[in-house]
A and B are shown apart, each in its own frame.
Chain A
Amino acid sequence: MLRSILKYEWRNLVADKAIWVVTGLFALLIGYGLLNGFAWVRFQNATLATARSEEVTRFNKLKASLTAIEQGQEKFTGDAFADPRQARTVGNNKGTRYAAMPPGALAPLAVGQSDLYPYYFKVSTLNKQTFLYNNELENPTNLLVGRFDFAFVIVYLYPLLILALSYNLISAERDEGTLAMLLAQPVALRQIVLGKILLRGGIVLALAVVCSLLGAVLSGANLLEGDTALRLGLWCAVVLFYGAFWFALAAAVNALGKSSATNAVGLVGLWLVFVVVIPAALNVTVTSLSPVPSRVELIQAIREASSAATAQGNQLLARYYEDHPELLPKNTKVDTSSFALRSTAVRETVDKAIAPVMARYDRQLLGQQNLVERYRFLSPAIVAQEALSDLAGTGLDRYRHFLGEVDKFHRGWQGFFVPLIFRQQSITAADIDRLPIFRFQEEPVGAVAGRVAGGLLGLVLPVVFLVWIALPRFKHYPVTA
């Protein structure tokens, strides 16, 4: 029976030109979104390549001038700030390294938050605040609006396509008077609904999944490499179940037995609630329940701490050596007038003083994110958006992971230079090869999969719920208006 329903539905759909126009438009929009995603990833990769080559050139120059000085071919005459032998000078500017988070394999599919967060830092021995907020340049108007990417098409427009195809699933048959004739055949209404949804779902979901796969492959993602295949699989699952949710919603609204026009208005209203109203309300709730203190306070705290520390100057330096006797220079006397020594001692003190303030920001931000994680289930659109950017590696989680890695690297960097500065040791050409190197460790895929699995559950459960309330209603469906 189901087969013949599918067959006749297919004939109906084929005859309807509007559907093919809309579906074609949808495919075009996806293509456009993918192009934008590619362009953005290309831009990021090009920037990272420039950064790498800049670093290599700088390091070669540094090594060459150190070698020249060591071999006596050149005599250095400039001040300490320009002296390549000074540990502070090397660790702060001449020998700084980039810590970069390259775009993930699926990054072209979802721009996510990647236009807002930095994706590389120039790590130095200074405190983290000096380099952590160096953003990519971007027109704030563009940031406000956001990009047109594949994920946008999926989260916002794909539901509309589904609703356009299914808002009058049964109501149209009744409005046209064909429902009574249909049901005169030995067939249950539920079976008709199932057939109609299977066919429409088959077309739309298949299109979305095929576009996802094509997009990933065309963007050069190697499915055999690392966790790409798993991520892509999960991506397709999210796309499928998000689509299933909207089909289930349309079926449930149809089951109420109202006219096609009422269904259309009701479904558009629900779309608006899930895609616009709930996210906006959640944002307001989250920011008022767990507000992040203004960064203005942070600026003040840092300045207060640094004025206090600078005022102590020499005492601070003496105390620092008392606390770290192992860092006393071996063969020379401590040069208390050295700017490098004093500023590093001040910097260490300021870092300690503002650590609790920084920790408070992180805690509040994490608190906000946890609230979002918990309440995202109120809207499948939020669930889908978070899962898609998570899989593309353009969400908050990967960025936080990157910040963690950078923090570790930064501490290692300071650990390398600070003892050299306090021991007043010179940097040699051989030291340059021993400088720490940042290698981005991808977040373990298990963690990503775990979060996305939670999200998938948040899509499957509403589908089950909607089917559960809709099914009994189809038994009592008013066959005539």
Chain B
Amino acid sequence: MIARIARKEFTEMVRDGRFRGGALIVLVLLLSALLMGWKHYSDVSAQHTAAQRATREQWLKQEPKNPHSAAHYGVYAFKPKLPLSFVDQGVDDYVGVAVWLEAHKQNDFRYRPAQDATAVQRFSELTAATVLQLLLPLLIILLGFSTFAGEREQGTLKQLVSLGVAKRDLALGKALGVLAALAVLLVPATVIGLGALALASGPESLAMSTPRLGLLALSYLGYYTLFIAVALAVSAWAKSSRFALVALLGFWILQSLVAPRVATDLTRWLYPTPSALEFAKSVSDDIAKGMDGHSSQDERTQALERSVLKQYGAKKLEDLPINFAGVALQASEEYGYRVYDKHFGALWDRFERQNTLHQVGAIFAPLLAIRSLSMGLSGTDFAQHRHFATAAESYRRVMIKAMNDDVTLHKDADHKATSEVYRSLPDFEYAPLPLPSVLAAQVWSLVCFGVWLIGSTLAALYAATRMEV
């Protein structure tokens, strides 16, 4: 019986001009978004790979120079793009594309692509994620608002129920029908997406991306299921189909337009972000005056001098078998690491708390959950940016240590590092955040998502079985 209802529902929808028109527009937008996303991904990816190679070349080809000067010259780390970013750009346009790894300083990422774009970019971007998160639910509303309310107005609902069709079966059949109509759209898009993914990534990253793509598809399926359930519930509960439409559109507007921005502002009220000026001041204060506030840089160096002299049983720095300058440089770097870890750690924790709040907001607006999940699985959320930034910073520390060690080993003040020393620094390799950690950052999205899924299904069943005929 359920299958029969679903088939009837499906046939009716596919024959409906409004659905055909709407679906065609959405399909065209989705496919062009996928195409643009794929092109963008391959362009940026090629650039970053080339640049990463070039920055390594530049490092290796440095003329012999003071190792500390080489550390000042440093290298750049370019943020690699994960293949699935062609589905969801996430925050990629709002974080810098590269970070300069140099002596003494943990730099912030530079060059946010959004700053090189016009203001229309912030209206809405044509990415597959936008279409999937905003436009498809609208199509579902269009398909679902009159399911029960419309039949009731036409009087066919009474006939159906009098035939002995269980209301629950009716609801399930109708839900399946809508889902089948959506599948007409989503199946080709997924196939094309898969093809693009296979083209975009080598075998290794394909192995990494496939489970993520699978979960991504599952998440969107869940999102549409909950939207269908909401639409059916409202349609069963509403007095008229007009009212159902207005209520559903209102819900769509609140969840897609209003809720995300309200969440942004709430996060700023609850967890204020410090200004860049304050941040820089607290970093430089901690370095200059010490993290405890009363061990200045000079005092720290003097203490180090005493302990190194004692260690080697020497009276003067000149008597040491090593170059004290290198030891001092490394010690001051290591003090810097502690300071940077404290401040960047606190800042990034704060951003993550803000993002958790965005996720918890999903209890009011499921879009917030699916957006967070989608960015996470596409590898474009803040947690994964942080992971890359942390990896780049660890590499900086390896580089600095290698150079300082070379200073320490040579007592000659005019010592110059050779290309061997440059080569001793391994190339920067980055392994993306593993899937379990990606999901761990999405706990609240998943919880809210589950609540919505169960809640909306129950609501749909409840409303359908109790509805007035």
> Given the complex, which residues of B lie within 8 Å of A296, measured CB to CB?
47-48, 51, 78, 97-98, 111
- Give the residues from 166 to 216 in chain B that come closer than 8 angstroms, CB to CB, to chain A: none
Bound-state Cα–Cα, A160 to B252, Å: 12
The total number of A-B Cβ pairs within 8 Å is: 201
Instruction: Known contacts A47-B275, A135-B276; decide if A280 and B94 are in contact (CB<8 Å).
Output: no
> Is A191 in contact with chain B by the CB < 8 A criterion?
no
B112 touches A142 (CB 8 A): no
> Is B421 in contact with chain A by the CB < 8 A criterion?
no
> Is B126 in contact with chain A by the CB < 8 A criterion?
yes
A133 touches B382 (CB 8 A): no
Instruction: Known contacts A283-B123, A295-B111, A382-B123; decide if A139 and B354 are in contact (CB<8 Å).
Output: yes
Q: Which of B108, B242, B264, B385 touches A148 (beta carbons < 8 Å)? A: B264
> Is B267 in contact with chain A by the CB < 8 A criterion?
yes
B265 touches A279 (CB 8 A): no
> Is A361 in contact with chain B by the CB < 8 A criterion?
yes
The minimal Cβ–Cβ distance linking B50 to chain A, given in whole angstroms, is 8
Q: Closest chain A residue to B280 by CB distance? A: A134
B264 touches A142 (CB 8 A): yes
Binds B, one of A194-202, A215-223, A286-294, A452-460: A286-294
Q: Which of B91, B112, B242, B350 touches A260 (beta carbons < 8 Å)? A: B242
> Is A96 in contact with chain B by the CB < 8 A criterion?
no
A295 touches B29 (CB 8 A): no
> Given the complex, which residues of A lie within 8 Å of B113, measured CB to CB?
295
Binds A, one of B114-122, B325-333, B396-404: B114-122
- Specify the main secondary structure of chain A where it touches its partner: helix
Q: Which of A137, A260, A386 touches B119 (beta carbons < 8 Å)? A: A386
Binds A, one of B6-14, B255-263, B309-317, B459-467: B255-263
Bound-state Cα–Cα, A282 to B123, Å: 10
- Give the residues from 268 to 320 in chain B that come closer than 8 angstroms, CB to CB, to chain A: 268-269, 273-279, 281
> Given the complex, which residues of A lie within 8 Å of B78, measured CB to CB?
296
Binds B, one of A109-117, A225-233, A235-243, A406-414: A109-117
Q: Closest chain A residue to B22 by CB distance? A: A269
> Is B454 in contact with chain A by the CB < 8 A criterion?
no
B123 touches A279 (CB 8 A): yes
Size of the A side of the interface (Cβ < 8 Å), in residues, is: 78
> Given the complex, which residues of B lie within 8 Å of A134, measured CB to CB?
108, 276
A146 touches B51 (CB 8 A): no
| Residue with the highest number of chain B CB atoms closer than 10 Å, among A51, A284, A294, A372 | A294
B264 touches A145 (CB 8 A): yes
The minimal Cβ–Cβ distance linking B253 to chain A, given in whole angstroms, is 7
A137 touches B382 (CB 8 A): no
Instruction: Known contacts A137-B275, A280-B125, A300-B51; decide if A148 and B265 are in contact (CB<8 Å).
Output: yes
B116 touches A139 (CB 8 A): no
B126 touches A140 (CB 8 A): no
> Given the complex, which residues of B lie within 8 Å of A272, measured CB to CB?
135, 138
Closest 5 CB pairs of A and B: A279-B123, A148-B261, A295-B111, A140-B91, A140-B94
